[in-house]
Structure 1
């Protein structure tokens, strides 16, 4: 590993990916013995597994090949704090979504399709923002620049918010919440939104402090709202 930040991000992403799959495949000791290694009869359960796995595989690949970490070290306690947060929430939501008694969304297939569209749109948006931020700063260059929209339509949201990566992340989890209609997922989304808002406000203040010409109309994370 190049630095501690990379280790922490990889560990906190690999954990939820593996944990969720343990519940999806219904390994022994998780549910009643008669359900061991059985598959759910609901299509949404399988779609949710693909989406959850895709999200964390995307984060792992972005950590390895896209993100550039500005801080080379991270307190050891952050590993336990970050992993506890992501791993426990992954187990909590996976337990209920993959439970043999799980009930599909109220509006059925239409709700799942709409939620899937939101999820995929925001995942593409998230990747586009991360690539735009990567291209903004060359390796070894300490000169900071203001992020602006590029030719990629997914980056046009830069005209409205300072941290669109968090905006798209929130959208992804809202889509996943709508898809699964599961309380633990909703709770995870709300907690994540609160934390991302704190980070986004810090980044927004940093932009305003560093750049006198920073666009004053930009919101922090939600256009025209927050």
Structure 2
């Protein structure tokens, strides 16, 4: 079954090791759901005892997120320059990753509002994760050049998923940002869009983004990294829902974490 939707692995040892390594990070989603969160966003001050030493090991949220996204964006741009003409599928994957991280950078600069900082170690871990995943996603696909296409072609459904994810993710990020006025650093219960159904619709659409990229590339590594991403976002959305329930007495109990009516 997998052989019908995934390219054959040209370098079995390297790709298999990196795919299994990426898949193993799915456990981070479990830790997120249990409350062992990366210290950024609302969780940077949740159940964490502040001290002078801890505050000195943080950077402001905007700077931290720029550091997180810029290396991955530059990686996608660099691969576009190194491999300029290697087929439609490769062009679509490079373009999708470039667009995704360029959008992230623009949101950091012009859309998101920040109420706290990010721990330096969290910045380093997430930066390496995005950079490594982006680089290996493109590299793994480059290794398939000259190999027969999978019998089931998913690249066009992947483009649709990616575009829906990009638009939906941006829209819900905009709704989150509009909750705060210029001098307001507090949290409110989000309204509009899919926020009436799930706590984290922006994560739901982010899953669509990465599913779209994995459908376009159809490599073992990309599917493995996407599964890991889904597990992480599900764990984080579950933790976010629990956070809202503890902070807001009027938070609707029937609102799910990330998948409408399901989870």
Give the TM-score, by structure 1 length.
0.82
> 2:111 maps to which residue?
66
CA distance in 1 between counterparts of 2:221 and 2:208 reads 16
Residues 161-200 of structure 1: per-residue CA shift (max 9 Å, x gap): 1010100000111111111111221122111122222221
Contact 1:24 1:98 in 2 (8 A): no
Q: Give 2:176's match in structure 1, choosing from 133, 150, 153.
A: 133
How many residues are aligned here?
204
CA distance in 1 between counterparts of 2:174 and 2:84 reads 40
State the superposition RMSD in angstroms: 1.9
Give the superposition deviation at 1:103.
5.1
CA distance in 2 between counterparts of 1:143 and 1:75 reads 20
Q: Give 2:247's match in structure 1, choosing from 191, 195, 210.
A: 210
Q: Runs of 4 or more off by more than 6 Å in structure 1?
A: none
Aligned pairs for 1:180-195 within 5 A: 180-195=217-232
Show structure 1 runs of 5+ residues with no match.
27-36, 150-154
Relative distance call for 1:164 and 1:67 in structure 2 (3 A) is same
Give the superposition deviation at 1:5.
2.3
- The reply on whether 1:112 has 2:149 as its aligned counterpart is no
Aligned pairs for 1:46-195 within 5 A: 46-71=91-116, 73-99=117-143, 100-101=145-146, 104-108=149-153, 111-149=154-192, 155=193, 157-195=194-232
CA distance in 2 between counterparts of 1:102 and 1:126 reads 34
Contact 1:19 1:91 in 2 (8 A): yes
Give the TM-score, by structure 2 length.
0.72
> 2:3 maps to which residue?
none
Give the superposition deviation at 1:142.
4.3
- The reply on whether 1:4 has 2:47 as its aligned counterpart is no
Contact 1:104 1:181 in 2 (8 A): no
Relative distance call for 1:170 and 1:102 in structure 2 (3 A) is farther
Relative distance call for 1:123 and 1:88 in structure 2 (3 A) is same
- The reply on whether 1:198 has 2:235 as its aligned counterpart is yes
CA distance in 2 between counterparts of 1:24 and 1:141 reads 41
Give the superposition deviation at 1:217.
1.3
Give the superposition deviation at 1:218.
1.0
Relative distance call for 1:64 and 1:190 in structure 2 (3 A) is same
Relative distance call for 1:39 and 1:201 in structure 2 (3 A) is same
Give the superposition deviation at 1:127.
0.5
Give the superposition deviation at 1:112.
2.0
Residues 85-129 of structure 1: per-residue CA shift (max 9 Å, x gap): 111111111101233346545333xx3222111110111000000
